[in-house]
Amino acid sequence: MKLRTSCAAALVLAATLASQQTLAQPHPTSIYETMPRSVPRIAMAQGAPSASASTTPNLQPTPQSTPQSQAIAAADSTTYADQGYPTSDCCEDACCDTGCGGICSSFGLGGGQLFVTADYLNVHASFSEATAFVRQNTDTGSDQFIPMVFDYHSSYRLGGGWQSCCCGDQVRFLFTRMRSDATDRAQPGDIVPFETAAPPGGYTDIDASVDARSYDLEFAKTIPLGGQCCECTDCSDPCGGCTTGCSTGCGTSCGPCCPAWDITWSGGVRWAEVGWQRSFQAIEDNYYAVTDSRSGMNFKGGGIRTGLEGRRYFFQDGWLSIYGKGNISLLLGDVNLSAIRDVNDPTSEINPVTRNTQTFRTRQIVPVTELEAGLTGQVTCRTAITAGYLFTAWHDLGFRDEHELNTLLPTTYDDANILGFDGFFARIEVGF
């Protein structure tokens, strides 16, 4: 009985001493001293519990914080979203909602936003072979093939979709329309296709136009390749500031570690409608059309589309970047070709107009290749402006007809039968 009493007294004494030591422990002065540095500070600043909420009262004087802890607390008092930096690398809900959550947060799509794009295109068509006429000089024994020169024409490209702030996913729709036209005039003695050479004193008007429309629906995924935080060489936290030793150009805090490079893969489907028309009209000296020839092509089809884009970022928060991208599509559809020639003979009362018609139709796979390069400036968190140059090649949709022209040398030239577009573009993208 005496032994039990002694043990109980010892336990009571030990508990009392332990309680007094706990009350005497100093409490941290900053919330960042209670959590490991591996936790993103932006998340702690918005969602972590406060140290003042502890149920145990602080009975001892609070020790003064060191200058280093004061600098860290000052740097962490403002989130990077408040500083205007992109926050796509911070995959905390609060960070995404603050940085670019937009209207999507209201529909439960957290961490994403809707966006729209509008492009102005100044492009012109180019065919692998587009002979307007052949100018022949019998004195020198030479033939000169004169091609159609297509003018630059204002076109446009419109798009929109949804993109994820954190995961780099994007679902987008794009409509593109490109147009171009060409005009020329052949003089008497020039050799013109479809036998539409002008009589003496007349001329042959030559016109051509191209119209291409495409509808794209695709999914894109951006993969960061890594980079540096500002100009610092030691960054321990993708959402926080740089560690000590990075005072040059960054100070005690810098923007998030935007990747110096990233690549974006895309895949989806395309529907396209492409057509071109040509006309050769031989007019005599009294402005009467003696021969009128017209040819045209129409293609409608759809298929799969895939592409790859690489982007390089510059400056502290990556607000300026250059990129290059390539896309390829395989479209299955119908190609319809037609040619009509009317020969007018006003002296004939029975048959003043003689018409010859030729049609050709086939179903085939049409490859489409596209290249684009440009420069992008991030004006605000939700607005970007891009300018650059583009190339597009529609294979097997060029001028397919081959004519046996009465040239000095019986030579014909094979071509790749490509309809191409190239030119400048400017784009604005707005997220909301």
pLDDT tens across the length of the chain (432 residues): 444 445 445 544 554 544 454 444 444 333 323 333 233 333 333 333 433 333 344 444 444 444 444 444 444 444 433 433 344 443 444 334 444 555 555 555 556 889 999 999 999 999 999 999 999 998 898 999 999 999 999 999 999 999 987 778 999 999 999 999 999 999 999 999 998 988 899 999 999 999 999 999 999 999 988 765 444 444 444 444 444 333 333 334 444 455 689 999 999 999 999 999 999 999 998 888 899 999 999 999 999 999 999 999 998 778 899 999 999 999 999 999 999 999 988 777 777 888 999 999 999 999 999 999 999 999 988 899 999 999 999 999 999 888 888 888 877 777 889 999 999 999 999 998
Task: Tell me which H or E stretch contains 312.
Answer: strand 289-314
With respect to residue 303, please indicate whether it lies within any of the assigned structural domains.
yes
68 domain-assigned = no
Residue 87: inside a domain: no
**Alpha carbons 190 and 198: distance in angstroms, whole number:** 8
SS3 state at 296: strand
Residue 73 is assigned to a structural domain of this protein: no
Cα–Cα dist 226/166, whole Å: 15
User: Which one-letter amino acid corresponds to residue 20?
Assistant: Q
pLDDT of residue 186: 95
Residue 203 domain flag: yes
Q: From CA 374, how far away is CA 380, in angstroms rounded?
A: 19
- Residue 357: per-residue pLDDT: 95
The token pair that represents 183 in the structure block: 């005009």
Q: What is the DSSP letter of 193?
A: G
**Residue 155 confidence (pLDDT):** 97
What tokens were used for 47? Answer: 């969602």
Angle ∠(261,320,256) on CA atoms, nearest 5: 60
Q: What DSSP line would sit under 328-363, residue for residue?
A: EEEEEEEEEEEEEEEEE-TT-SS-SEEEEEEEEEEE
Residues in the chain: 432
Residues 266, 267, 268: CA angle, nearest 5 degrees: 135
Is residue 366 assigned to a domain? yes
Residue 67: its pLDDT value, please? 45
Q: Kindly state whether residue 25 falls inside one of the protein's structural domains.
A: no
- Counted domains in the chain: 1
Query: CATH number, domain at 178?
Result: 2.40.128
Within a domain: residue 6?
A: no
- Residue 85: the pLDDT is 36
102 DSSP assignment: G
User: Residue 268's beta-bridge partner residues?
Assistant: 218, 305
Domain span at residue 277 reads 103-431
